[in-house]
Structure 1
Amino acid sequence: MTLLLELDRIACIRGDRLLFEGLSLSLARGEALWLRGPNGAGKSSLIRVAAGLLRAAAGTVTRHERCALIDEAAALDAELPLRRALDVWARIDGIDGPMTQRAMEAMALGALAEVPVSMLSTGQRKRAAMARVIGSAAPIWMLDEPANGMDDAARARLVAAIAAHRANGGAVLLASHFALDIPDLAELDMGARA
């Protein structure tokens, strides 16, 4: 079993509030973990700690591979047409153009390629953010509420993309308020830790 992500005895403090402490987890190739719990339980903070965007108050984070993140911001240039905005990230990630095309197809975005990101609906922006993650070719996906604003068809595409990523040896850390129909999904109840 090849580990892609290890968190050892992590603690997180936001403001003056201890969100969690002593939290350890690992993700190996093909694994997915659902962080569930109410608002304020620390799901998003844990993902940000795991991604290296938020410093842990204690413990260590080891990422053995690159990661890609979805959070509340799509991180796409709002003024650019969608395809060009995704191509910017492809160049940053050192990924070829066909990978961006495949990512757009996976999330049914081909018809929106020339639409400025600022004109996309909430669900379309979430699909675009997911295409950015797919197109990054990062082995570790950190998905914070990736299905918010998505309709049933888009959620089905999200679940299919996660399944394909895992089948290809990727790992997924997922925070969501509601269950997605993802097989063999381990769970961590963040609400029980609060």
Structure 2
Amino acid sequence: MTRGQAQLRLSLEAQGLACGYGETALATDLSFTVPSGSGLLLRGPNGAGKSTLLLTLAGLLQPLAGQIALVGHDPDDGPAIHHCGHRNAVRARLTVRQTLDFWADINGRNGIDAAAALDRVGLARIAGLDAGYLSAGQQRRLVLARLLVSRRPVWLLDEPSAALDADGQALLEALLDAHLDAGGIAIIATHDAIAVERLRTLTLGVAA
């Protein structure tokens, strides 16, 4: 069975989920299923719990209540989740290529090679530049390259379109389309419009 075929069997499921910090719940009573080839756009005001939900789905925070399951995932296939937060995690004194290599060494090199990934996101010409000189939009493109060098079926993205220009927005949408075409899952916290048909909306409200 190919990796793409394996991804087509996956679904990310939450039942009665509550997430927050300590005893403070930011989002409660969430139940949803996201099958392969589809995703969610998390909407809501600042403080509604969008980033917290992504951290909880990624396993970086414990849920306050409820259950999360990635149905159909075989742990022998390796890690399933990419979590890219709203901070770019760019080290200023590493070059663009060194930054991407650093993440590939951590996450694995089972996707396209680093040079091809930088070319895909439009950073190939400045691969030798210190990452600290990148604009905010270029740093977000470098984060997108991280998704390409280490292939994982579930993308949890926090404000991935922040600071992107029109071409960068089109790039993000094209990468998401390709990921979903391959049977991937995407859950995205954003205030921006993302023109990908297979993303439905989940709106979070501020807890009382």
Q: Same fold (TM over 0.5)?
A: yes
Deviation, 1:192, is 7.8
User: Retained in 2: the 8 A contact 1:10–1:59?
Assistant: yes
1:68 aligns with 2:75: no
- The equivalent of 2:48 in structure 1 is 41
Query: Could you tell me which residue of structure 2 aligns to residue 7 of structure 1?
Result: 14
Over 3 Å counting, the alpha-carbon distance change for 1:3 and 1:26 in structure 2 is farther
Cα offsets for 1:116-161 (capped at 9, x unmatched): 1111111111111111122221111011100011101101000000
| Aligned AA (2:29) | G
Q: 1:10 to 1:3 in 2, by over 3 A?
A: same
Maintained 8 Å contact 1:3/1:28: yes
Q: What is residue 136 of structure 2 aligned with on the other side? A: 122
Match of 1:59 among 66, 81, 87: 66
Map residues 140-155 of structure 1 onto 2, 5 A cutoff.
140-155=154-169
TM-score calculated relative to the size of structure 2: 0.85
Q: Which amino acid aligns with 1:110?
A: A
Change (3 A) 1:11 1:168: same
Residue 195 of structure 2 corresponds to residue 188 of structure 1: no
**Alignment CA distance shift 1:161-1:98 (3 Å):** closer
Tell me whether 1:30 sits opposite 2:37 in the alignment: yes
For residues 192 and 183 of structure 1, the distance between their equivalents in structure 2, rounded to whole angstroms, comes to: 27
Query: Where in structure 1 are there 5+ consecutive unaligned residues?
Result: none
Greater Cα shift, 11-20 or 179-188: 11-20
Q: Does 152-161 or 127-136 show the bigger shift?
A: 127-136
8 Å Cα contact 2:37-2:198 kept in structure 1: no
**RMSD, aligned α-carbons:** 2.0
Matched AA of 2:204: M
1:36, 1:43 within 8 Å by CA — same for their partners in 2? yes
Paired with 2:119 and 2:196, the residues of 1 have a C-alpha distance of 20
TM-score, length-scaled by structure 1: 0.91
Secondary structure, aligned partner of 1:153: helix
How much does 1:102 deviate? 2.8
* 8 Å Cα contact 1:50-1:61 kept in structure 2: yes
Q: Which residue of 1 aligns with 2:188?
A: 174
Structure 1 segments of 4+ aligned residues over 4 angstroms from their partners = none
* 3-state SS, counterpart of residue 146 of structure 2: helix
Q: Which amino acid in structure 1 is aligned with residue 184 of structure 2?
A: G
Give aligned-pair identity as a percent.
37
Superposed CA deviations along residues 33-88 of structure 1, whole A, max 9, x for unmatched, are: 11111111111111110011111111122233611122122223332111111112
Q: Structure 2 matches for 1:72-91, cutoff 5 A?
A: 72-91=86-105
Question: How far, CA to CA, are the matches of 1:179 and 1:37 in structure 2?
Answer: 13
